[in-house]
Chain A
Amino acid sequence: MRLPLLALLARGPAHGYEMKQALEQLLGSAYPQPNVGQIYVTLGRLEKAGLIRGEEVEQSSRPNKKIYHLTDAGLDELRGWFAEPEDEPRVRDEFFLKLALAPQTGLADQIALINKQRRQYLNTMRNLSKLAGAENRDNRIAQLLIEGAMLHLQADLDWLERCQEELEDPE
């Protein structure tokens, strides 16, 4: 959450609630919605670290609100974020460990595990399809996020298929 908030401030000062709304609008309903408390806590930390600077603005009818500005240090931090590629997703999930350890326990059948896992993935895929249909078609960023999730899942399903091909008893 730290860097996205800095990124939002790169185009100009904003207050916390504005930033929450901007993120929601940009990322769409598929992305986990940031909760407002989380945003305020993070903003407090960023300010303490000198990456942003808060400015109290008086409001006549309501409590003061705080407008945040990006500092030079914050800008450097943000540049560093964009400069580095991210780690690839890791294939190190619990299912893999179940599959690997099932035979020596005698408690589960590998093919049954694969089938069960495939059902889970297929249902998730179906939910993603529905989500893509429900999301605004013109929000390309949100649609790309969903498409990315579907492609990941497709790869997971392809891998399950490979597992099944390798582990199924030949006759």
Chain B
Amino acid sequence: MSDRRPPAPSAARGAEPAVQEHLLLRAEGLVKTHHGEGAPARAVRGVDLTVRHGEFVAVTGPSGAGKSTLLHLLGGLQRPDEGSIWLEGRCTDSYSEARWAEERRRSIGVVFQFFNLISNLPVADNVELPALLAGRSPRQARAERKELFAELGLDGKERSMPGELSGGEQQRVALARALVNHPPLLLADEPAGSLDSRGTREVMRLLSRFHRRGQAIVLVTHDARLASAADRVISFFDGRIADDVKLGGAAARGTAISDVVELRPAADRD
């Protein structure tokens, strides 16, 4: 738990308010209990979390650990029972549903495991709609959409309905929709959870590419292969952060990269 908090940006002089100005997202004391049938489920039990601009954070843990609930809280899709969330320094405590919806158009993009595209709209419209809702002109919306489609290998699919595309293609449309308004933060909830291994690799490659251009990402996944693309991995257990680690800082024990395979399955096992 030693590096639970990322170091403060160097520009700040250690004073708390100055640090906050540099944070993309800050959550403190988040608690969320689900009251369904049976005993109440304490999905999130006191979580403090910060995400800096441009940071790529993966949250991993067993299913039922509460990691999706945590992501939903960060995106305002669910409201915490306790605790607060600040977006770029603004406290969201008093936000209405409508205000959160506006944030999700402007400053937070979200992709889900099952894509959640509007099934009776062509995929181009699925992507342009949030741009129009955010106040872009139809021409701007189309230009943004076109650029993303080219980038994501979706040229020629504009008039397809979501159901006519493969899972991997639908997830790329969902990614275009999430990014069309250039939100500083992308939230991804098991984005490869319903994809085959090729689709998984594709999503991993695209997330890494957007991250390299400065996109901040919070990725919830049970797949360590996906998580290892992040700079920082949070292990989530039983509604709490069990570990928070930066990857790739100090060189791992295997010095040369070609030692990595040898290090594990081949040589070490017996």
The smallest beta-carbon distance between B227 and chain A, in angstroms, is 7
- Interface SS of chain A: helix
The smallest beta-carbon distance between A164 and chain B, in angstroms, is 6
Q: Does A154 contact B (CB under 8 A)?
A: yes
The smallest beta-carbon distance between B230 and chain A, in angstroms, is 9
The verdict on A90 contacting B225 (CB below 8 Å), with A115-B242, A123-B252, A149-B264 known, is no
The smallest beta-carbon distance between A162 and chain B, in angstroms, is 8
The smallest beta-carbon distance between A111 and chain B, in angstroms, is 7
- What is the chain B residue whose CB lies nearest that of A91? B269
Chain A residue numbers with a CB within 8 Å of B254 are 124, 127
**Stretch of B76-84, B89-97, B233-241 with 4 or more beta carbons under 8 angstroms from chain A:** B233-241
Give Cα A167 to B38, complex, Å: 25
Chain B residue numbers with a CB within 8 Å of A124 are 252, 254, 260, 263-264
Chain A residue numbers with a CB within 8 Å of B252 are 120, 123-124, 126-127
What sequence of 0s and 1s flags, for each residue 193-228 of chain B, a beta carbon within 8 Å of any chain A beta carbon?
A: 000010000001000000000000000000111011
Quick check: A154 and B225 within 8 Å, CB to CB? yes
| Chain A 92-137 interface residues, beta-carbon cutoff 8 Å to B | 92-93, 111, 115, 118-131, 134
Give Cα A122 to B224, complex, Å: 7
| Chain B 166-214 interface residues, beta-carbon cutoff 8 Å to A | 197, 204
- What is the chain A residue whose CB lies nearest that of B229? A129
Mark B residues whose CB is within 8 Å of A: 1, 61-62, 197, 204, 223-225, 227-229, 233, 235, 237-238, 242-243, 245, 247-248, 252-254, 257-270
Mark A residues whose CB is within 8 Å of B: 29-33, 87, 89-90, 92-93, 111, 115, 118-131, 134, 145-150, 152-154, 157, 161, 164-165, 168
A-B contact pairs, 6 of them (CB 8 A): A32-B261, A32-B262, A120-B252, A123-B252, A134-B257, A165-B238
